[in-house]
Amino acid sequence: MRTTSFTATLLIFTFTLAAHSSAADLSAWRSDFHAAQREAQRLDRPMLVHFYTDWCFPCRRMEQDVLSRPTVTQVLESRMILVKLNAEQHQEIAERFGVELFPTDVIVDPTGKRILSSTGYQEADKYVRFARDAEQMYVSTRQPTTGSPVGISPETADSSLLLAIGGYCPVTLTKERQWVKGDPQYMVDHRGQTYYLASAEAMSDFAEATSKYAPQLLGCDAVVLMDTDLAVLGSVKYGAFYDGQLYLFATKDNRIAFKEDPERYTRTRVVRNIDEIDRPLVR
Q: Tell me the per-residue pLDDT of 138-160, one tens digit each, with 9 for 90 and over.
A: 999 865 544 433 333 333 334 44
Edge-to-edge strands, sheet with 47-52 = 29-30, 81-86, 47-52, 104-108, 114-119
Cα-based distances in Å from 29 to 70, 73, 203: 11, 8, 45
Whole-number percent of the chain with pLDDT over 90: 75
Spatial distance between the Cα atoms of 283 and 276, rounded to a whole number of angstroms: 19
Question: pLDDT (tens digit, 9 = 90+) per residue, 167-226?
Answer: 999 999 999 999 999 999 999 999 999 999 999 999 999 999 999 999 999 999 999 999
At residue 162 the predicted structure's pLDDT band, cuts being 50, 70 and 90, is confident
Q: Of 9, 38, 173, 183, which is closest to residue 112 (Cα–Cα)?
A: 38
DSSP 163: B
pLDDT at 147: 41
pLDDT at 199: 97
Identify the weakest region by mean pLDDT among 93-102, 136-145, 153-162, 257-266.
153-162
- pLDDT (average), residues 21-30: 58
Question: pLDDT (tens digit, 9 = 90+) per residue, 33-52?
Answer: 999 999 999 999 999 999 99
The most confident of the ranges 103-117, 134-148, 228-242, 267-281 is: 103-117
At residue 278 the predicted structure's pLDDT band, cuts being 50, 70 and 90, is confident
| CATH of the structural domain 31-141, one choice from 3.40.50.300, 3.40.30.10, 1.10.3470.10, 3.90.226.10 | 3.40.30.10
Residue 18 confidence (pLDDT) above 70: no
pLDDT at 274: 85
Spatial distance between the Cα atoms of 171 and 163, rounded to a whole number of angstroms: 15
Length of the chain: 283
Q: Where are the domains of the chain?
A: 31-141, 156-276
At residue 27 the predicted structure's pLDDT band, cuts being 50, 70 and 90, is low
Residue 24 confidence (pLDDT) above 50: no
What's the whole-model pTM score?
0.78
End-to-end CA distance of the chain: 43
SS3 105: strand
Spatial distance between the Cα atoms of 171 and 182, rounded to a whole number of angstroms: 10
Beta bridge partners of 71: none
At residue 99 the predicted structure's pLDDT band, cuts being 50, 70 and 90, is very high
